Amino acid sequence: MSHSFNRLTTIAALDIGSSKVCCIIAKISRDKKMNVVGYGYNASKGIKNGYITDINQATLSICNAVESAEQMANERIDRVIVNVSGDKTKSIMKNSVIQINKNRPVSEADINKVIEKGISKINVEDNELIHCLPTSYRLNGGEEIKDPRNIFGENLSVDILLGMIPEINYRNIATVIENSHLEIAEKSFSAYASALSCLVEDEKEIGATIVDVGGGTTSITTFRNGYPVYFGSIGVGGNNITNDIAWGLTTSFTHAERLKTLHGCAFLTSHDQSETLNIYPVGEEDDSSIRQIPKSDLISIITPRIEEIFELVNEKLAEQGLKDVSSHRVVLTGGTSQLPGIREVASMVLDKQVRLGKPKNLVNLPDSLYTPSFSTVIGLLLFALSYTEKKPNKIISKPSSNAGYLSRIFGWMKQNF
C-alpha cells in the first residue's frame, strides 16, 4: 500500500529517540513546498537503545512532545510518520526478473509488473517490514539503469531493498503510539530519514554512508548510484559515553552528561593536561567534597568509546565491500556527532572523507532545528513528501517453533481421539 502524503495539507513527524522525543508539524502548499508550523521536544523516558523499556513513561514522553508541537501549530494531529531504530535493524536485497516484449520499449506497466513480482509473498520471518525500495533496474542483465522506460530489451530486472526489524520490537513502538491516541501513517529507519535531510544528490550518486550517532544506537544507511543499498545499526551511542564517564569518574549520570556536553572532546590536545575540571561525587551534597581532575582524564575516557563506534561502523562497511572504496564518503549526523573532534577521529578510523551533516533539504527551517540532533525528524517530513514505496499486499511470517509444535500436538490429538 502506498500513501499520497503530498495530497495532505498537514503532516506530522515523530522522532522517538533514546535521548529525546521530537514532534514536528508542517504544512504542505499546492506546489509541494513544506513549512514547519510547530515543533516540540523533551527528554526521553522509558526508551533505551532504541527500544521501549517502559510503556507508560514512553507514552508520556511522546504525548508531551506532541502537545507542545500542537500548541505551537494551533492544530491537532492524529497521524504521524514515525522513525524506527535499534540494533536489530537489517536489510536484504531481493532481485526480480520478468520477460518483456522485445518489439516495444519498456512501459510503466512493465516496471510495475517486475516490482509487483519482487514484492509478492515476501517472507519476513517474524520481522516487521519497514522499507521496500526499488534500487536499480537492468535490461538483459546489463548495466544498472535508473529509468528503463522507452528502452528496448528482452528481460527487465530490479533490485529491491527490504528493511526490517523484529516484529516484537515494532509492536512495542506501535503500542506507545496507540496509547498516545495517534495512528502510524508510515515509518522509516532513522538513518534513512537522516540521509534524506543531510545528503546532497552527488553524494547519493558517487556513494556515501550516513552514520547517525544517536543516544542509544548508531544507525547506518548506505547510498550508491542514487539509491539506498544497505541499512544497518550498532547498539552503541552517546549514552554509552555518558555511562563511561559516570563510572570512570564516580559521578552522577546527570553530571557526566554535562561534562561530556561542555568539556568533552574525541581526542587529546596539548592543553587538556593543564586544564582542570570539577567533579561532583555521587550522593555528595557538600561542596567540600568536590574534587578536581585534569581534563585529559575526561578525554581519555571518551576517546576509546568513540574509536569503538567507528571501528564497528568500519566492520559494517567491510561487510558491504565499501571499506576500501576511496570515492565513498561518510556523513556524520545525530546529537553525538556534535562532539568536538569526532569528525577527525571518524576520518582516521574509517580512512575516508568525513563531513558533519545538518538538515539542509528543507527551506525556511527554524534556526533551532538546524542542527544534527534534528536530522531524523526533518528527514521524516521529506520522506513523506517524496513517498514512493510500494509495500506488498501479502507478507509471509515464518511460524514460531512453539506454534509448529502446538499444531503438531493438535494434529496428533485429532487423529487419535
Q: Are residues 294 and 352 in the same domain?
A: yes
In the predicted structure, residue 412 carries a pLDDT above the cut 90: no
Same-domain pairing of 148 and 266: no
Q: Give the mean pLDDT of the chain.
A: 88
Between the alpha carbon of residue 237 and those of residues 233, 241, 313, 332, 376, the distances in Å are 10, 7, 12, 13, 15
Residue 6 lies in a domain: no
Q: Does residue 212 sit in the same domain as residue 263?
A: yes
In a domain, 378, yes or no: no
216 and 125 within one domain: no
**Spatial distance between the Cα atoms of 295 and 281, rounded to a whole number of angstroms:** 16
Which helix (H) or strand (E) element contains residue 154?
none
| Residue 52, pLDDT above cutoff 60 | yes
- DSSP annotation of 151: -
For residues 226 and 325, state if they share a domain: yes
Domain assignment present for residue 210? The answer is: yes
Q: Does residue 29 sit within a domain?
A: no
Q: Pull the grid cell for residue 276.
A: 582542570
DSSP state of 21: E
Q: Residue 128 falls within a domain, yes or no?
A: yes
Pair (294, 212) in one structural domain? yes
272 & 352 share domain: yes
Gyration radius from the chain CA atoms: 24
**What confidence score (pLDDT) does residue 402 get?**
43
Total structural domains in the chain? 2
**Cβ atoms within 10 Å, residue 196:** 27
**In this structure, are residues 179 and 371 in contact, taking their beta carbons and an 8 Å threshold?**
no
| Statement to judge: residues 223 and 351 lie in one domain | yes
Q: Say yes or no to pLDDT of 364 above 70.
A: yes
| Residue 72 domain flag | no
Model pLDDT for residues 232-246, shown as the tens digit of each residue: 999 999 999 999 999
Low-confidence winner among 58-62, 255-259, 398-402 (lowest mean pLDDT):
398-402
pLDDT beyond 80 at 333? yes
Cell of 363: 527551506
Q: Find out whether 122 and 162 touch, Cβ atoms under 8 Å.
A: yes
- CATH number of the domain enclosing 152: 3.30.1490.110
Determine contact, residues 189/163, Cβ cutoff 8 Å: yes
Q: Which of 137, 132, 161, 159 is nearest to 149 (CA)?
A: 137
Please identify, among 331, 359, 387, the residue that sits at the C-terminal boundary of a domain.
359
Q: What is the pLDDT of residue 414?
A: 40
Do 110 and 162 fall into the same domain?
yes
pTM: 0.88
* Cα–Cα nearest to 372, from 229, 180, 193, 222: 193
Instruction: Please indicate, yes or no, if residue 14 is contained in any of the structural domains.
Output: no
Residue 261: pLDDT over 90: yes
Whether 352 and 233 map to the same domain: the answer is yes
What pLDDT score does 43 carry?
A: 93
Angle at 291 between CA 289 and CA 294, to 5 degrees: 175
Which domain, by its residues, includes 328? 201-359
Would residue 384 count as lying in a domain?
Answer: no
pLDDT digits (tens, 9 = 90+) for 281-323: 887 656 667 889 999 999 999 999 999 999 999 999 998 888 7
- Mean pLDDT for the stretch of residues 34-53: 91
Q: Are residues 136 and 211 in the same domain?
A: no
Contacts of 125 (CB under 8 A, 6+ apart): 397, 398
pLDDT of residue 395 exceeding 70: no
Question: What CATH number is given to the structural domain containing 324?
Answer: 3.30.420.40
Could you give the C-alpha distances from 376 to 141, 215, 343, in angstroms and in order?
Answer: 36, 13, 19
- Per-residue pLDDT, 286: 63
CA distance 259 to 263: 5
First to last CA, the chain: 45
Instruction: Please state the rounded mean pLDDT for residues 388-416.
Output: 50
Paired with 13 in beta bridges are 24, 81
Q: With 50 as the cut, is the pLDDT of residue 407 above it?
A: no
Query: Are 116 and 208 within one domain?
Result: no
